[in-house]
Each structure stands twice: as structure tokens, then as C-alpha cells.
Amino acid sequence: MSIRLEGINKYFGQFQALKDISLDIPDGQLTGLLGPSGSGKTTLLRIIAGLESAEQGRILFHGEDVTDLHVRDRRVGFVFQHYALFRHMTVAQNIAFGLEVMPKAQRPGAAEIRKQVGELLDMVQLAHLASRYPAQLSGGQKQRIALARALAMKPEILLLDEPFGALDAKVRKDLRRWLRALHDELHFTSVFVTHDQEEALELSDSVVVMSAGKVEQVGGPQALYAQPESRFVFDFLGHVNVLDGQLAQQRMTQGDAWVQLPGMLECSGEAQLYLRPHEVRLQDCPAPHANLPLRIESISLIGAEVRLELAPCGWVAQEPWEVGISHVEFNRWQPQRGDRCYAVPDVGHLFDVQQARPRTLSWVND
């Protein structure tokens, strides 16, 4: 079931929560709405569900206008951030609730409801907990039951509001993997809200980055990370190292720091050079095309790589720089806090006053 949003505007009093949102979500796709708190993600999700109404715009499911259709008639499943399970009902009763309150003409018989509940419990791998109450479940188990309850109504669209926000890191990762596998098996159209960049990039077929009620950029996870179209998307999708400086005669300069830019750039004045941590190398002397002196402030050996936090020497950065090196390189180099080193950019992304979008630069073949 495809979803099309056309010119959605939403106000809460004088505050405009959504600003002319137009969006296409293909049938069978898992789409993440990503952005900071207050960006309008949950409001947009609730409008798709029919739990909120927009002042302007249209919502179409598979080409059919459902803008004025009541929530119960939209065939949408909704999973709330904090589960919203009925505490006085068992797991099985929670899942069966939506089926039992359907209009009599549409309601399955008692035996059919028991059968469907059993199948859903098997699907979420919690059949052994059918007689327990929500208070007796872990957070991850509660989330699976909330999902099973939403799927009991056989929705054509599944909407999830921060589905993993209340869970610890390991449970979140396990549930993300499980939901992705379930989605690939059942092929329903899903939209979920998150402020976790890693979660959105790992789980989604497509990511919608939102800010202040507007869509900043839409794209696949790899394309979005590799080619952000604005400073906001760059800043929000993971850490980025930024050099602010003056651009003149192919060189960007700030204090003791400078970088010779590749190619022929006909621009000058204030500029910013964005460098992802994996696009920068570290060495003990300046490179022919860059002098970026840094001091090692902290070293973190947790994870697949060693993460170094670095402070500028003789120039200023708004935030500390971060660069990752392999454990093999760390063991060979043995860097210590307080050591001086130099950053060497391999790939960079230049924002100048004349360009709304960044220009990607490469020194690899120079």
C-alpha cells in the first residue's frame, strides 16, 4: 500500500508544526522519519494514521484520498512509543482486543480469534508468555506484543512511533534486526519515527530527514550519508569534523591551519570544509596539501576501531575533531594523550557562501 502526502500543513495554535510536506512512500517499503525533537516526525506519523488532522493537504493510500477518512477505516496499525498495553489484560487478551471489538458483521468467531492470536504469538516468538500480564514482561517483550496487537488487525500500513526508544542498546539492536526480517517476510508498508541516526540508517529502505517541520532530504541510507545536501543533514547524520576559514587562491586558511583544495574552484571568502572521521588520516607531520595540527585529548578503544578525540593547535574548531584508526595502527603507533599529530584529508565537502549544497573534493589521486 503506497502512501502519498501532498502539501501537508499542521498548526497548533500559532505554531506551525508541519510546513508544506509532500512525500511519496512506495508500496512495501520501510521508511524512517528521522530528526531531532520538535522536527514534526510524530505529528506527521499521527496525521498518516488519522489520529491528527492537517489544516491543508491531502493523504492518499494507493491513489485513494483518505484525508477525511476516520482512523478506524484506514486499515493502519499503530505501535506507540510506550507500548500502550492494557495492564489488566494478559498478553493473549491484549493481542485479541482489537479483533473482539470489531463490528459484529466483521468480527471473527471466538475460535478464529484464538487461532489468530496463537499464530501472532508464534510469529513474535512469545507463545510461552500468553497468560502473563504486561508488568511481568521485559521492555523488548512488551514491544513485540504491541507489534503483534497492531498486526492482528491485518493492517495494510504499519506505523511505529519511536518503537525502540525505551529499550537498552542491546535489546534495541536485536529488535531492529527482528523487525527488519519480519518486514521482509510480510512485505507490508511501514513508517517509523526515530531520532537515532544509526537506527534509521540500519533499518530503513529510505530515510526522510526532518527539521523544524520541513523535509530536509529524502534518500536511501548509503546515498544520504555519502551525499548530504545541507549543513543540517551533515551535522545530524553522525559526527563531522569542520574547518572554518577563508578561501582564496585554492587555499582555505584559519590561523596555523590550511588546506590546499584540489581542482579549479572559482570562489573566495568565508567557507566551511566538512570531513567525516573516516575521510581523514592521522600522521606525525603535515601533508603537502594540508597543515592541520591537532593534539590528542582522549582515546577510546571500545568497538571495532580506536576513536581519537582531538583539539586544534593554533586554530579554532567549534567542536572537538574525531578520527578513527584500526587497532593494528594503534598498536603500531601507540599514541598518547597530549601527543601532537596532523590530520590529512582524503575526501572533503566544501560549503561556501555561493553554494547552497556542498561540493565534494578528493585528494586521493592528486
Residue 252 lies in a domain: yes
pLDDT of residue 138: 85
**Whether 324 and 183 share a structural domain:** no
Domain tally for the chain? 2
**Whether 252 and 200 share a structural domain:** no
Boundaries of domain holding 200? 3-229
Within the chain, which residues score under 70 in pLDDT? Answer: 166-167, 353-356, 365-366
Where do the H-state alpha helices sit in 18-151? 41-49, 91-100, 110-123, 139-151
Whole-structure pTM value? 0.79
User: CB–CB of 355/278 below 8 Å?
Assistant: no
The helix or strand, by DSSP H or E, that contains position 171, with its residue range, turns out to be helix 169-186
Helices 139-151, 110-123: axis angle to 10 degrees equals: 130
CATH code assigned at 307? 2.40.50.140
Spatial distance between the Cα atoms of 311 and 331, rounded to a whole number of angstroms: 22
**Whether 182 and 280 share a structural domain:** no
Q: What angle do CA 349, 352, 358 make, to 5 degrees?
A: 35
Query: Domain boundary residue among 173, 197, 229?
Result: 229
**Whether 161 and 32 share a structural domain:** yes
Residue 302 lies in a domain: yes
**Whether 190 and 94 share a structural domain:** yes
pLDDT of residue 273: 93
Spatial distance between the Cα atoms of 97 and 149, rounded to a whole number of angstroms: 8
* Residue 181 C-beta-side C-alpha neighbours within 13 Å: 8
pLDDT of residue 148: 84
pLDDT of residue 166: 62
Spatial distance between the Cα atoms of 122 and 102, rounded to a whole number of angstroms: 23
**Whether 126 and 215 share a structural domain:** yes
Burial bucket for residue 284 (CB in 10 Å: 0-12, 13-18, 19+): exposed
With cell 508464534, the residue in question is: 122
Residue 81 lies in a domain: yes
Query: Domain boundary residue among 201, 229, 257?
Result: 229
**Whether 211 and 244 share a structural domain:** no
pLDDT of residue 354: 65
Residue 327 lies in a domain: yes
CA distances from 29 to 19, 80, 207, 318 (A): 24, 20, 11, 38
DSSP-derived letter for residue 67 is: T
**Whether 68 and 155 share a structural domain:** yes
Query: Domain boundary residue among 205, 229, 253?
Result: 229
pLDDT of residue 48: 94
pLDDT in tens, 117-169: 888 888 878 889 889 998 898 888 888 888 888 888 788 888 988 877 766 77
**Whether 250 and 327 share a structural domain:** yes
pLDDT of residue 59: 95
**Whether 209 and 292 share a structural domain:** no
DSSP track, 174-203:
HHHHHHHHHHHHH--EEEEEES-HHHHHHH
**Whether 220 and 260 share a structural domain:** no
pLDDT in tens, 208-261: 999 999 999 999 988 888 788 888 888 888 789 999 999 888 899 999 999 999
**Whether 225 and 262 share a structural domain:** no
Residue 234 lies in a domain: no
